[in-house]
A and B are shown apart, each in its own frame.
Chain A
Amino acid sequence: MQIRARCACGHLWYVAQDLAGGLTNCPRCGKATQVDGLRDPLWRVLQGAAALGWVVVVVLLYANTGPLGALLGGAALAAILGLIYLMM
Chain B
Amino acid sequence: MSKLFELDRYWIRRKFLTLFGASFHVYAPDDQLLAFTRQKAFKLKEDIRVFEDEAKQVPLLTVQARQIVDFSAAYDMVDAVDGVKVGATRRKGWSSFLRDAWEVLDADDLPVASVVEDSHGMALVRRFVSNLVPQRFEVKDTNGRSIATFKQRFNPFIHKLDVTIHDRNAVDPRAIFGTAVLISAIEGRQS
Contacts and interface: CB of A to CB of B under 8 A. Distances in A.
Given A22-B76, A40-B67, A42-B68, A32 B83 contact: yes
Interface in B167-191: none
Contacts of A25: 84-85, 107
A41 interface: yes
Nearest to B45: A88
Contact of B68 (A16, A22, A31, A40): A40
B76 to A, nearest CB: 4
Nearest to B68: A42
Interface in A23-41: 23-25, 30-32, 35, 37, 39-41
Contacts of A22: 64, 66, 74, 76, 88
State which size class the interface on B falls in. Answer: 20 to 34
Given A22-B66, A32-B83, A40-B68, 7 more contacts: A16-B109, A19-B66, A22-B76, A23-B76, A24-B109, A35-B66, A88-B43
B85 A24 contact: yes
Interface of B: 42-45, 64-70, 74, 76, 78, 83-85, 88, 107, 109
Sorting the interface of chain A by its residue count into under 10, 10 to 19, 20 to 34 or 35 or more gives 20 to 34
